[in-house]
Structure 1
Amino acid sequence: MSEAAPTLLGRLGGWFSPSASAEIAAAESAALRSDRFRLEREGEWKRLEAIVGRIERGRLRGISDEDLLALPALYRTAVSSLAVARETSLDAETLLWLEDLTRRAWFIVYGPRAGLGDWLVRFFGGGWGESVRALKQDILIALALMVAGTIVGWLLVASDPDWYFALMPGGMADARVPGASRAVLLGTLFGQQDQHGLAVFAAALFSNNAQVAILAFALGFAFGLPSALLLIQNTTMLGALLWLYHGQGLTLEIIGWLSVHGTTELYAILLAGAAGLHIGRAMAFPGEASVLDAAAAAGRRSAQVMVGVVLMLIVAGLLEGFARQLIDNTPGRLVVGGFMLVFWTTYFFVWRGRGKAA
C-alpha cells in the first residue's frame, strides 16, 4: 500500500460520521498490520520456497549446508505464519501460496525419503529381522503354544483314534488314517511325486497353514486369544499325523517328508502367531500409552513381520512344489529342511545387517 493512501483515507474520514471514520481507521490499521506481517516474514518464506524447489528438482548439490540445517526451522516458521495469516486480513492469493508452500515443505521435512528399491534393501538388509527380534517374547509364547498343541493332538488320538478324523481337515482324508498298514503309509511318502493324491494332500496342507498364519495375525486385535487358540488347534493336526506314522515306525520318515517345506511353513506360522500375540499383548498391557497408541505401535512392527511371513509362505510353496518332487529320500529331505531351519534362525537372530525397522 502506498504512503499516500493513509493520508487520503484520513481526509475522506472527515467527510463521514465519527463511526464511519472509526471503521475506516480500523481498516487502515488492519491493512498496515497485514502488510507489515508479510514484509517481516516474506524473506524467510521465499528462502524456504527456493530450498524446497531445488530439492523437488533434485538439485541437492546446489543447496548449502546452512540452508539444509535451516530447513526445519523455516518450515516451522512458515506453518506458524500460516496459522496467524488465517486469522488476519492477509490477501487470499498470498494465503493460498503460503498454504501450498507449507504443504510442499512438509513432504520434504517429514515425508518418505526412499523409494521401493531403498525400502527393499532396508527390509531384507536387517529391518525384517529387527522387527522379528522385537517380538522375541511373543515368539517364545507362540512356540510354547505350538509345542503344547502338538502334544495335545498326539495324546488325543492316542487315547481315542476317532479324534484323528476330528482333527484332520477333510481335504487330507486319504490313505493316511488310523489302521493303515506300514506299507500303505510308506507309499504315501515315497515314489508318489507324480501322483494326484500327494498333490492334493500337499495343497490342502499348504492352504490350511497359510490360512492359519493370516488369521493368527488378523485376530490378534482380540487381545491375542484367538491367535493362541489357532496355534494350538493347528498343531494338534501335526501331533495327530506324527502319532499315526509313529505307530508304524515311520517317525523319521514323516519328519523328513514334512521338513522339506515344513520348517519354513511352520516358522511362518510361528511368526504370524507371535505378531498377533504381540498386538493383543500390547492392547491388554499398554503401559503408560493409551490402548490405541500401544496397538498402533505394535501393529507397525507386526505388519512388517507379516510382509516377511507372506514371502516365507511363497518360499514354502516353492519348496513343496519342487524340492519334494526332486528329493525322494529321507536324508536328503532332512538336509533341506534342516538347512532352511538354520537359515531362518540365523537370518533373524544372529545376522544383524544394516537395515532399520519401519
Structure 2
Amino acid sequence: MTDTPLAPELKSQRFRRQREAEWRRLEALVDKAEKRSLARLSDAEILEIPVLYRSTLSALSVARETSLDQGLIDYLETLSARAYFFVYGSRASLAGRIATFFRRDWPRSVRALWRETLVAVALMGLGALIAGGLVWAEPDWFHAFVPESLAGERGPASSTESLRATLDGTGDGEGLSAFAAMLFTHNAQVALLAFALGFALGLPSAMLILYNGAVLGAFVAVFVSRGLGVELGGWLAIHGVTELFAVALAGAAGLRIGWTMAFPGARHRVDALAESGRTAALAMVGVVVMLFVAGLLEGFGRQLIADTALRYAVAGFTGVVWLGYFYAPRRTTSS
C-alpha cells in the first residue's frame, strides 16, 4: 500500500500542535504589554519577545509556502504585526527606565537575594566576633587582620587620647579624612570583588565577607578596650549602616551566582546562571548607588555631625529607610 499525502487540514493541525504553545506565549506577552504598558513586563519577558517573534515569523513563512489553511495564516500575520511594534518600535525613555529601576527592579532583586543576604550578614558578624575576640585576648592579633596601610597609627599601641581624637574630630582633620577614605575604599573593593569572584562557587565571596567583618571586629576590639566603644559605634554607623549593607548585598550577589553554578537544579546550568546573573547584576548596580550615598554620608555627615547621639540617630534613620525601601510590603500586580 502506498502512502497518501496528508490533507491540508491534517497538515495544518499538526503544524499548529507543534508550535501553538510559542504563539500563545507571544500573544499573552503582547496582550500584557498592550493593556498594562511595556514597563509591566519583567526583564526576562522583554528578552523573550524577540525570540518568540522570530519563531512566529518563521512559522508564518512555512505556512505561506506550504499553503496551509488561510485562517492560520491570518492569525500568524496579525500576531506578527502586533509583536513587531514591541520589537522594533520606540523604547522606553532613559528617565523612564531609571525610574523603573528604582521603583521596581532594584528592590525586587534585593528581595530575591534575602537568603544570601542573611548568610552574608552572618559571615560578616562571625568574622567580627572571631577577630574581636582574638584581639581582645591578645592585641598583637590586630596586625594579622588589619593591614598597616589601613590601620595607620590606629592600633593597640596608640594612646587612648589619640584614638579619641580620631572620633571627635579634635585631632588632625586631614588625617581623619584620609583614614575614613581608606576605610571606604577598602569596603568598596571588597564589595566589588565579592561579586566578581562569585563564579568560583561563591567561596571567595564568602571569604572576603568574612575577612571584612574581621577587619571591623579588630578595630572595634581596640577602641572598646580603651572605653571608646560607644563613640566608635556612632562614628562608624553614620555611614557604615549604608556601606556595610552594600557590602553584604554584593556578597549576597556573589553567593547567588556561586550557588547556582554549583547547584543549578532542574534547569540547564547556562539558563540558571543567566537568570541568577540578571538578579545579581541588578542588585550590584544598586550597590554602586549605596556606596555613593555612603561616601556622601562619610564625607559630610560624619564630619559635620560631632555629637555621638545624633550620629546614632542618623544611622538609625538610614537603616529604617533602606529596610523599608527593600523589604516593606508592596502592592503586587497580576502577571
Taking structure 2 as the reference length, the TM-score comes to 0.74
Structure 2 CA distance, aligned partners of 1:115 and 1:339?
A: 33
Q: Which of residues 162, 170, 190 in structure 2 aligns to 1:184?
A: 162
Is the aligned partner of 1:336 residue 2:324?
Answer: no
For the Cα contact (< 8 Å) 2:194–2:251, is it kept in 1?
Answer: yes
Structure 1 CA distance, aligned partners of 2:90 and 2:144?
A: 50
Tell me which residue corresponds to 2:232. 254
Q: Which of residues 49, 56, 80 in structure 1 aligns to 2:59?
A: 80
For the Cα contact (< 8 Å) 2:162–2:171, is it kept in 1?
Answer: no
Q: Which of residues 213, 222, 244 in structure 2 aligns to 1:235?
A: 213
Tell me whether 119-128 or 253-262 shows the greater mean CA deviation: 119-128
Q: Which of residues 170, 177, 181 in structure 2 aligns to 1:199?
A: 177
Structure 1 CA distance, aligned partners of 2:248 and 2:229?
A: 22
Structure 2 CA distance, aligned partners of 1:129 and 1:321?
A: 26
Instruction: Sort the Cα spacing of 1:167 and 1:112 in 2 relative to 1 into closer, same or farther, 3 A.
Output: farther
Instruction: Sort the Cα spacing of 1:123 and 1:291 in 2 relative to 1 into closer, same or farther, 3 A.
Output: same
How much is the aligned-residue C-alpha RMSD, in angstroms?
A: 2.9
Structure 2 CA distance, aligned partners of 1:322 and 1:348?
A: 25
Structure 2 CA distance, aligned partners of 1:167 and 1:193?
A: 25
Tell me which residue corresponds to 1:308. 286
For the Cα contact (< 8 Å) 1:171–1:200, is it kept in 2?
Answer: no
For the Cα contact (< 8 Å) 2:53–2:83, is it kept in 1?
Answer: no
Tell me which residue corresponds to 2:243. 265
Structure having greater relative contact order (Cα 8 Å, sep ≥ 6): 1
Tell me whether 149-158 or 231-240 shows the greater mean CA deviation: 149-158
Is the aligned partner of 1:299 residue 2:277?
Answer: yes
Taking structure 1 as the reference length, the TM-score comes to 0.69
Instruction: Sort the Cα spacing of 1:238 and 1:103 in 2 relative to 1 into closer, same or farther, 3 A.
Output: farther
Instruction: Sort the Cα spacing of 1:308 and 1:355 in 2 relative to 1 into closer, same or farther, 3 A.
Output: farther
For 2:139, what is the secondary structure of its paired residue?
coil
Q: Which of residues 128, 142, 153 in structure 2 aligns to 1:150?
A: 128
Q: What code does the residue aligned with 2:58 have?
A: V
Could you give the per-residue CA deviations for residues 99-144 of structure 1, whole angstroms, max 9, x where no partner exists? xxx8996573488842322221211113211111111111111111
Q: What code does the residue aligned with 1:180 have?
A: S
Instruction: Sort the Cα spacing of 1:272 and 1:193 in 2 relative to 1 into closer, same or farther, 3 A.
Output: farther
Structure 2 CA distance, aligned partners of 1:301 and 1:113?
A: 22
Report the Cα offset of residue 194 of structure 1: 6.7
Q: What residue ranges of structure 2 are gaps of 5+ in the alignment?
A: 1-50, 67-79
Is the aligned partner of 1:277 residue 2:255?
Answer: yes
Structure 1 CA distance, aligned partners of 2:112 and 2:179?
A: 35
Instruction: Sort the Cα spacing of 1:112 and 1:354 in 2 relative to 1 into closer, same or farther, 3 A.
Output: farther
Q: What code does the residue aligned with 2:59 have?
A: S
Tell me which residue corresponds to 2:190. 212
- Written as runs of structure 1 = structure 2, the 5 A alignment for 1:218-229 is 218-229=196-207
Tell me whether 163-172 or 228-237 shows the greater mean CA deviation: 163-172
Report the Cα offset of residue 79 of structure 1: 2.8
Larger radius of gyration: 1
Structure 2 CA distance, aligned partners of 1:180 and 1:264?
A: 28
For 1:162, what is the secondary structure of its paired residue?
helix
For 1:188, what is the secondary structure of its paired residue?
helix
Report the Cα offset of residue 305 of structure 1: 0.4
Report the Cα offset of residue 259 of structure 1: 0.7
For the Cα contact (< 8 Å) 2:139–2:222, is it kept in 1?
Answer: no
Structure 2 CA distance, aligned partners of 1:131 and 1:78?
A: 33
For the Cα contact (< 8 Å) 1:260–1:320, is it kept in 2?
Answer: yes
Q: What code does the residue aligned with 1:221 have?
A: F
Q: What code does the residue aligned with 1:297 have?
A: E
Is the aligned partner of 1:175 residue 2:153?
Answer: yes
- Written as runs of structure 1 = structure 2, the 5 A alignment for 1:94-109 is 108-109=86-87
Q: What residue ranges of structure 1 are gaps of 5+ in the alignment?
A: 1-71, 88-101
Tell me whether 276-285 or 173-182 shows the greater mean CA deviation: 173-182
Instruction: Sort the Cα spacing of 1:343 and 1:351 in 2 relative to 1 into closer, same or farther, 3 A.
Output: farther
For 1:288, what is the secondary structure of its paired residue?
coil
